[in-house]
Amino acid sequence: MKKLILLLALIVACVQIQAQSKFWISGQYSNSTMNYLYGGKYATMGVEWGNVTPSDNPNVVLYGQFKKYDSGRSYFEVEKVLKSIPLYEGSYTIGNYKCPTSGLEGQILTSNGVKITFSSFVPLSNAYVNTTKAEWGIKVCDGKIFPVYYIRSVENQGVNQEVQRMVPPAGFDAAGESTNRNEKLAGKVVSLKKESQITVANYAIILTDDGTRREISSTRPMKVGERVNLEGYNKTVYWDGVMNTSYVFFVTKIIGSQSYGSNQTAPANNSGTVSSTSLTSEEAKLYALIMEYRREKGLPSIPVSKSLTYVAQLHAKDLQENFVRGTSCNAHSWSDKGKWTPVCYTADHAQAKGMWNKPSELTSYKGSGYEIAHWNSASASASGALNGWKNSSGHNAVIINESNWANSTWNAIGVGIYKDYALVWFGKEIDKEI
């Protein structure tokens, strides 16, 4: 009898251990791999779908367990798939955990008594949290894997959700629409591809003049590259039930528009007045990708600078047309073919000031500029450039303010892509030409 009890205890223990070895994770899936949060930072791993139909959606929420190939490389074996991540709310406590992540850690106690261990990338106040965006990930401590609910954004802290539905936010009516129907929005159309699963007419994404990406529903179809001045109102659009929302600008009137080609920039000059400089669609994409990458690291967005964009576009064209690769001068060099001071930038950084001073030499920008460069013989792209920089510790540090750049605050950014070259310039000073 004692042996039987011991055997049953062992079976129960084994079941408990097995159950605790399975997790929910979420992230970006592509080509049999996914990016997911590991200890507060993104990591990549392989995915094996087993008996589950592989997802055709790049945003996945998966349940399963970590395993290893014979080579020793880890992968995730999928057992279930969800369409979206549960958004929890409830009272919470903060804890000091062993092996901490980069965020604020604690536990949410939901209304049905479930305890959710979280790590928040955003500040929390009061004693109640209503999550609006989150990701499932893990952390490893003492060789054990622990599930972590990574909070990206919250709202209505200290207010019960049912009460909030009855009382719309200030400036909005009961349907979630702004009461001001004559708001204005100006910017350039950078994409017609939906970033969410909402269904609205004539969908487009606008890069506004302050560098913010906005989803819109227009009165007519939009064109990528078109610059528009719009009048309308903002509305909270619910999709996938009430789990996900988008903040959409519904257009009631198009005040004016001007079309640029997909690879065309507005004219600029070399006199220091760059008010007409604008981003191409690929440059806007690179800017958006960099801002998203910074947000993943808990860093703020950087305003687009017309001055630094002018310098970046000018330098990209100079490199394409005049730079000779394979010499002691690297891609931070400037030729003697333009109305600027030539620079041969060498590996010892002896001529660094020649590069730093280019924004003030060519524009009205008062501060120094710091450049990162990417070259691809088959033409540069936004995603290729960022991936290259992320895999280079020196360039990556500039983008996300690490290492030697940890104490720098970027208040201006410029982007230039021309054929084989992609360049981004960063500045500490605010640009009056933004």
Residue of 18 and 91 predicted with greater confidence? 91
The backbone torsions φ and ψ at residue 166, rounded to the nearest 5 degrees and listed phi first, read -80, -25
Q: Quick check: 386 and 395 in contact, CB under 8 A?
A: no
**From CA 315, how far away is CA 418, in angstroms rounded?**
9
* pLDDT, tens only, 41-79: 888 888 999 888 888 888 889 999 988 888 878 899 999
Residue 411, pLDDT above cutoff 70? yes
3-state percent helix, strand, coil for the chain, nearest multiple of 5: 20, 35, 45
**pLDDT band per the 50, 70, 90 thresholds, residue 335:** very high
Q: Which of 231, 124, 248, 121 is nearest to 180 (CA)?
A: 231
Residue 265, pLDDT above cutoff 50? no
**From CA 334, how far away is CA 336, in angstroms rounded?**
7
The pLDDT value given to residue 218: 86
Q: What average pLDDT is seen over the chain?
A: 79
The token pair that represents 417 in the structure block: 């892509």
Residue of 112 and 394 predicted with greater confidence? 394
Strands laid side by side in the 421-427 sheet: 370-375, 421-427, 412-418
The pLDDT value given to residue 126: 63
**3-state SS track over 242-257:** CCEEEEEEEEEEEEEE
Residue 143, pLDDT above cutoff 70? yes
Residue of 244 and 138 predicted with greater confidence? 138
Residue 171, pLDDT above cutoff 80? no
The DSSP line for 51-93 is: TSPPPSSSEEEEEEEEEE-TTS-EEEEEEEEESS----EEEEE
When mean pLDDT is compared across 17-26, 48-57, 414-423, the lowest value belongs to: 17-26
Q: Quick check: 354 and 345 in contact, CB under 8 A?
A: yes
**pLDDT band per the 50, 70, 90 thresholds, residue 269:** very low
The token pair that represents 226 in the structure block: 């078109």
Q: Quick check: 341 and 351 in contact, CB under 8 A?
A: no
pTM over 0.75, yes/no:
no
Q: Quick check: 188 and 304 in contact, CB under 8 A?
A: no
**pLDDT band per the 50, 70, 90 thresholds, residue 160:** very low
The pLDDT value given to residue 178: 54
Stated length of the chain: 434
**pLDDT band per the 50, 70, 90 thresholds, residue 401:** very high
When mean pLDDT is compared across 15-24, 172-181, 260-269, 299-308, the lowest value belongs to: 260-269
Which residues face 75 on adjacent strands? 46, 67
Residue 157: CB atoms within 10 Å: 15
Residue of 40 and 242 predicted with greater confidence? 40
The pLDDT value given to residue 180: 59
The pLDDT value given to residue 17: 27
The residue written with tokens 């600029």 in the block is 268
| Integer CA distances (angstroms), 340 to 271, 272, 334, 396, 414, in order | 11, 12, 8, 28, 18
| Integer CA distances (angstroms), 109 to 106, 152, 232, 272, in order | 10, 18, 40, 57
The pLDDT value given to residue 263: 36
The backbone torsions φ and ψ at residue 18, rounded to the nearest 5 degrees and listed phi first, read -65, -45
* pLDDT, tens only, 193-224: 876 667 778 888 888 776 677 888 888 888 88
* pLDDT, tens only, 85-119: 888 888 888 876 777 776 788 888 876 677 888 98
The pLDDT value given to residue 238: 58
Residue of 260 and 424 predicted with greater confidence? 424
The pLDDT value given to residue 71: 81
**pLDDT band per the 50, 70, 90 thresholds, residue 3:** very low
The pLDDT value given to residue 195: 63
Residue 164, pLDDT above cutoff 50? no
* pLDDT, tens only, 292-318: 999 989 888 898 898 999 999 999 999
Sequence-separated contacts (24+) of 200-209 with Cβ below 8 Å: 200/237, 200/248, 200/250, 202/251, 206/230, 206/249, 207/279, 207/284, 207/287, 207/288, 209/434
Tell me the one-letter amino acid at 35.
Answer: N
Q: Which of 406, 313, 311 is nearest to 362 (CA)?
A: 311
